[in-house]
């Protein structure tokens, strides 16, 4: 892995580019949301362990209070795609905050292949650290971004989709969550003591799960197992039959406009229905 430097990390984030491992393959589909009329850019959040945690924040101008949406990254960090999602939400009246949740473990933006990202950074990130950092981000949004944490939600993509399920169990005061193609089963380790399927039956926060029926990395039987676990908890899973993994990622070949557009519409309606908007 390239030598890690906090300064380089922040410089890369400020540039707003894509991670080296996932340079856009289809520029025509990349959605770019302007920041005009928004308060948008890098911020620093004090974490529970004293670390100054980098994050991207976008919100409307004005005093608010704004409902808060925590946006959880793919394995590629808070690169251009995640920052744009924050701006899309801000244009709809949300305060969107995306913390750099494995900043301590390394700078994935400078790693050129996915296997190395997984082996050298992502596999070393403790779930407890992530959940604590999300707690800190929520508190910071209330204190410094006119955020109304009584109307808070979380959404996450890929790696972040798994985290969205776990955070919904960890933080029962959330109004809602949306998990995009996050893994539901996996190894139980000291760093990852629970998987989403373990917490499904006890969920008190309504979670909308959005999955691709052609996702080669998330077998459909695990999605159906999760659907059975959530039962009558108020959560829901939608499967897009022909969509692959990362069907919302408009900068990748996996992007499927129909599924992405419908999933985004469903997420926003889910937030409205459950009192976030």
Q: Catalytic residue numbers?
A: 158, 215, 245
Burial of residue 184 (CB within 10 Å: 0-12, 13-18, 19+) is buried
Backbone angles phi, psi at 63, to 5 degrees: -80, -10
Cβ atoms of 104 and 130 closer than 8 Å: no
DSSP 246: T
Backbone angles phi, psi at 60, to 5 degrees: -70, 160
Helix 127-144 vs helix 159-170: crossing angle, to nearest 10: 70
146: Cβ contacts below 8 Å, ≥ 6 apart: 59, 62, 63, 64, 65, 66, 95
The token pair at 37 is: 């009329």
Beta bridge partners of 70: 97, 154
Q: How many whole angstroms separate alpha carbon 157 and alpha carbon 72?
A: 7
What three-state secondary structure class fits 227? helix
């Amino acid at each position: 892995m390239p030598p890690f430097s906090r300064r380089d990390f922040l410089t890369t984030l400020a540039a707003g580019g894509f991670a080296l491992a996932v340079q856009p393959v289809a520029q025509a589909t990349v959605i770019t949301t302007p920041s005009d009329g928004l308060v948008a850019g890098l911020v620093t959040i004090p974490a529970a362990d004293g670390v100054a945690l980098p994050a991207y924040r976008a919100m409307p101008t004005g005093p608010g209070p704004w409902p808060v949406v925590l946006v959880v990254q793919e394995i590629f960090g808070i690169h251009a795609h995640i920052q744009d999602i924050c701006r899309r939400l801000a244009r709809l009246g949300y305060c969107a905050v995306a913390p750099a949740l494995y900043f301590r473990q390394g700078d994935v933006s400078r790693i050129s292949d996915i296997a190395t990202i997984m082996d050298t950074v992502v596999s070393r990130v403790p779930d407890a650290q992530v959940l604590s950092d999300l707690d800190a981000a929520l508190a910071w949004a209330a204190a410094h971004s006119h955020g109304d944490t009584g109307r808070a939600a979380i959404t996450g993509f890929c790696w972040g989709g798994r985290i969205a399920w776990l955070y919904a169990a960890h933080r029962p005061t959330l109004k809602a969550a949306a998990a995009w193609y996050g893994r539901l089963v996996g190894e139980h380790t000291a760093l990852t003591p629970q998987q989403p399927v373990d917490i499904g039956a006890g969920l008190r926060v309504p979670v909308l799960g959005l999955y691709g029926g052609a996702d080669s990395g998330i077998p459909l039987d695990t999605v159906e197992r999760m659907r059975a676990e959530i039962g009558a908890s108020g959560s829901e899973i939608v499967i897009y039959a022909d969509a692959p993994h990362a069907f919302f990622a408009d900068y990748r070949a996996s992007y499927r406009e129909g599924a992405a557009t419908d999933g985004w519409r469903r997420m926003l309606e889910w937030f409205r229905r459950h009192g976030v908007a």
